[in-house]
Amino acid sequence: MKIKNYTRFLVLPLLAFAMLFAFNQCKNVGPSEMPDPDASVLNQLKVSVVNSENGTALQAYDIKVVLPNGSTREFNGNTGAFTYDGTTEGTYVITASSEGFLAESTVIEVTEQVEAVSTVTQHVFFLNKRGSTTIVPQQGTVLYVESDQPQQTVINFPPGALSSDNNVTVTFIQPSAKYEELNILGERAVLHGYNFAPDLTFPDNARPIITIPINIPSVTNGQADVWFGTYNETTGTWEKVLGTLNADRTTASFEMPHFSTWFVFTGFRLIKDVETWSPWSFVAESDVCSAGVCGTFIYAVSPNALVNQLISLGYNINLKAKDTRCVGPHYKYAQQLFARVLVVTYKVYDYTGAYVGSIQVPTKKFQWKVEEYYCHDQGGGK
């Protein structure tokens, strides 16, 4: 006879990038006198911090977490991992920083707890190396900025753009598509960007002109225009400038009214339609009684014709989600793991505003469920 028992399991490691996505096996431990798992910790955040230039995990970084109650916790990551226990329902603002890199922030919503289900939210911070600082004189100058293209980005400051000499730092923001990340801000799929410091506003008749190399197939083949914009997280709106393309559509020039973080994107819009959970999938079960269980859940969406078209036009969309989980051991019990992932459907509109179809993209939000069975013979089968 089997007695089924549903129990909530959750520990809260915030693991480094390699551990999050390559942890395929866990060691089973033998029978032991283990108490019932603590059911008070219900949700899990997994955060990793990565060098956007080469995709390697950063080993020295700082994390600041603003909790739902408004209080702040700060952590130092020197080994690529840190643990924070006790997440509750609400909004978390997490900022990652590292010396020599531009800090990044994100907002994570921990949703209402579901009986016998644990929610896991992953987030990867791609930190960008801070650019060099140059003195820009009042009489104007030309700056050259390295990017991921062979041709440099050029910024022309006309005389009178600055009221006095200023130190200016320009940081190139690597394209998230390098790592198959779809970065959508305000219905726009962001390609790459630039951070300008300090905050400066320029006269209408003396605005700097930035000329950016373009290697976006949908732009160079004439299927889309290209924009330069800065996104207001508070209002959810874009301030954007349409690019002026050269004859062969390989460079685009933009007039900047002020400094901030500016992104390059095309006229395509991706509007979130619905969110649905994938079906529950069996992942793994205990090898022996009282041993606990580890499993890796992988979910993939088959690309439709529109996804293939978007990829051919320069977008890179990750259609696979992956998470690893270990629970137990629990004395005289064997466990089975089940998992599912949240999938978002986007409606896609081209640069003319015409609806061209929809795509499904798995998110980095997972739910895990554990089923337990009492074992008659400790150390034996289930």
Taking 50 as the threshold, does the pLDDT of residue 375 lie above it? yes
Helices (H), the chain: 17-22, 217-220, 305-312
Give per-residue pLDDT as tens, 47-79.
889 899 888 888 889 999 898 888 898 888 765
Strand, coil or helix: 129: strand
Q: Residue 229 belongs to what H/E stretch?
A: strand 226-232
Would you kindly state where each structural domain of the chain is located, as residue ranges? 129-268
Give per-residue pLDDT as tens, 312-338.
766 778 889 999 988 877 778 888 899
The predicted pLDDT at position 22 comes to 33
**More confident call, 260 vs 27:** 260
Taking 60 as the threshold, does the pLDDT of residue 16 lie above it? no
Query: Which CATH architecture fits 129-268?
Result: Sandwich (2.60)
> 48 CB contacts (<8 Å, ≥6 apart)?
14, 15, 16, 17, 19, 20, 57, 80, 122, 123, 124, 125
